[in-house]
Structure 1
Amino acid sequence: MPASHDLYQDLNCGKEAVQQRRQQDPELDRLLDEYTDVDNQVLAAESISAGNVEDDDIRRLKEQRLAIKDKISQQLANTQ
């Protein structure tokens, strides 16, 4: 069964610290919401990938998720 990535571990940053910055940074807030949405789409696509979702669609979603994670990382670096 597909599992969600631990974004905070990937970012090497504590969840509380990110949530605190999120309250002060609307762009970071938007990016985190977008990441969650795309991550949920990846999980859904992987769970029904037995013929209903093309591998290219899953790959595209994963690439989109990675790009958002990179933007989140940049946003966190800019606000430190």
Structure 2
Amino acid sequence: MPVSHDLCQDLKCTEEDILKKRREDESLDALIKQYARLDAEVVKAEKPPVVLADVALETLKKERLQIKDQIAALMQK
């Protein structure tokens, strides 16, 4: 069963850390919203019946990973 990725767990930080940084940085806030949207799309696409081709699903996952890498970079500032 597909599950949503926990950004806090992936980045090894707390929700409070993320909330504080989001308030300070609008670009980080926008990236986190985009990440959440992509994550929801991936979870939905992985649930039966699978409606996306493997290539389309992999593209979504790669885009989600790129966004997470950008978020991680901004969180380290």
Bin the TM-score by the shorter chain: over 0.9
Indicate the RMSD between aligned Cα atoms, in angstroms: 1.1
Paired residues in the alignment total 77
Match of 2:16 in 1: 16
Moved over 4 A (4+): none
Q: Separation in 2 of the partners of 1:70 and 1:34?
A: 13
Identity of aligned residues (%): 39
Q: Which amino acid counterpart does residue 19 of structure 1 have in structure 2?
A: L
How high is the TM-score relative to the length of structure 1?
0.90
Runs of 5+ consecutive residues of structure 1 not aligned to the other structure:
none
Taking structure 2 as the reference length, the TM-score comes to 0.93
Task: Determine if the alignment matches structure 1 residue 39 to structure 2 residue 39.
Answer: yes
Q: Which consecutive residues of structure 2, in runs of 5 or more, have no partner in the other structure? A: none
